[in-house]
Amino acid sequence: MEERSTTSGEDKPEIQSPIPPNQIFILSGQSNMAGRGGVVKDHHHNRWVWDKIVPPECAPNSSILRLSADLRWEEAHEPLHVDIDTGKVCGIGPGMAFANAVKNRLETDSAVIGLVPCASGGTAIKEWERGSHLYERMVKRTEESRKCGGEIKAVLWYQGESDVLDIHDAESYGSNMDRLIKNLRHDLNLPSLPIIQVAIASGGGYIDKVREAQLGLKLSNVVCVDAKGLPLKSDNLHLTTEAQVQLGLSLAQAYLSNFC
């Protein structure tokens, strides 16, 4: 079950950066990309809340920005998807740990990293087809993010848990993902756009078929990071905060090793 939101994120400070990002990363997929780390049940008020615990690997950095829902660059801080994956409680995802790790490894101090949150919890891959709201929003936000001259460096994609329950969905996952990548590259006019995909760790059902498709996708500039074995929350679906940090570091290593 997806955890429903009780907060709007309106109390978050909005910091306009005078220096736009020059290295941009798209964060997309479903709830584990949006982040449920640290989201717990407040039994006293019978609601889901974020515990607001931010690991040091996810700390804000003035050289790491995020594109807000209203298409403005601001200093990035957790939860990255608070105004994107609306209607649900967002917590720690892999994005900030990824960005900090990449920033720390880059040899130039002039690098300003821009994160573009696009993930939406509970969504199946068919909901990301070209022409759908989610797909078109992702393209629009990506196009907007590079208007100041920044370069789209990679798409981080973590999705698939919603495709494991139906055998047809699981068996068609590979072809659907192949089509999604080709469409996105075409529509952004980035034929070699790097894609770093996460092989899902949870979901039950026909998960092995989805994982097989994710790990076996044969397209250029597509790599896969396996989330199997990372700690899960008590729902056996969402990664813990610790796991999200580990995943973010693994995604950063995959990017740095394959595309830098």
217 and 224 Cβ atoms separated by less than 8 Å:
yes
Active-site residue, 145 included: no
Q: List the structure tokens of 158.
A: 């973590």
> Quick one: which of 252, 131, 249 has its CA closest to 194?
252
Answer whether the bond into residue 56 is a cis peptide, omega within 30°. Answer: no
SS3 205: coil
63 and 111 Cβ atoms separated by less than 8 Å:
yes
- Taking the C-alpha atoms of residue 22 and residue 214, their distance in angstroms, rounded to an integer, is 29
Residue 122 burial class via C-beta count within 10 angstroms: exposed 0-12, middle 13-18, buried 19 and up: middle
pLDDT at 254 over 60: yes
- Taking the C-alpha atoms of residue 39 and residue 1, their distance in angstroms, rounded to an integer, is 13
Q: How high is the pLDDT of residue 5?
A: 45
Give ∠ CA 195-212-88 in degrees, rounded to 5. Answer: 60
Give ∠ CA 209-1-141 in degrees, rounded to 5. Answer: 75
CA 54 from centroid of its chain's CA atoms: 17
pLDDT tens, position by position, 200-243: 999 999 999 999 999 999 999 999 999 999 999 999 999 999 99
Residue 218 burial class via C-beta count within 10 angstroms: exposed 0-12, middle 13-18, buried 19 and up: exposed
Q: How high is the pLDDT of residue 108?
A: 75
Q: How high is the pLDDT of residue 18?
A: 54
Active-site residue, 31 included: yes
Q: How high is the pLDDT of residue 144?
A: 97
Q: Which of 11-15, 120-124, 155-159 has the lowest mean pLDDT?
A: 11-15
pLDDT tens, position by position, 142-176: 999 999 999 999 999 999 999 999 999 999 999 99
Among 5, 17, 28, 31, the active-site one is 31
Q: How high is the pLDDT of residue 9?
A: 45
| DSSP letter (8 states) at residue 5 | P
- Taking the C-alpha atoms of residue 5 and residue 173, their distance in angstroms, rounded to an integer, is 29
Q: How high is the pLDDT of residue 42?
A: 84
Q: List the structure tokens of 104.
A: 């720390």
Among 42, 51, 208, 235, the active-site one is 235
* Phi, psi of 179, rounded to the nearest 5 degrees: -65, -40
Q: How high is the pLDDT of residue 186?
A: 98
Give ∠ CA 199-203-207 in degrees, rounded to 5. Answer: 60
Q: Which of 15-24, 42-51, 77-86, 148-157 has the lowest mean pLDDT?
A: 15-24
Q: How high is the pLDDT of residue 107?
A: 72
Angle between helices 173-187 and 133-145 (to 10 degrees): 40
Q: How high is the pLDDT of residue 175?
A: 98
Grade residue 11 by pLDDT with cuts at 50, 70 and 90: low
Residue in the structure block whose two tokens are 């830098």: 260
pLDDT at 14 over 80: no
pLDDT at 17 over 70: no
Determine what percent of the chain is predicted with pLDDT higher than 70: 93
Domains of the chain: 23-259 (3.40.50.1110)
What's the whole-number average pLDDT of the chain?
A: 93
SS3 1: coil
Among 77, 81, 169, 238, the active-site one is 238
Active-site residue, 238 included: yes
pLDDT tens, position by position, 101-120: 999 998 777 899 999 999 99
pLDDT tens, position by position, 70-93: 999 999 999 999 999 998 999 999
Q: How high is the pLDDT of residue 23?
A: 97
What pTM did the predictor assign? Answer: 0.92
Q: Mark out the alpha helices in 51-107 (DSSP H runs).
A: 95-105
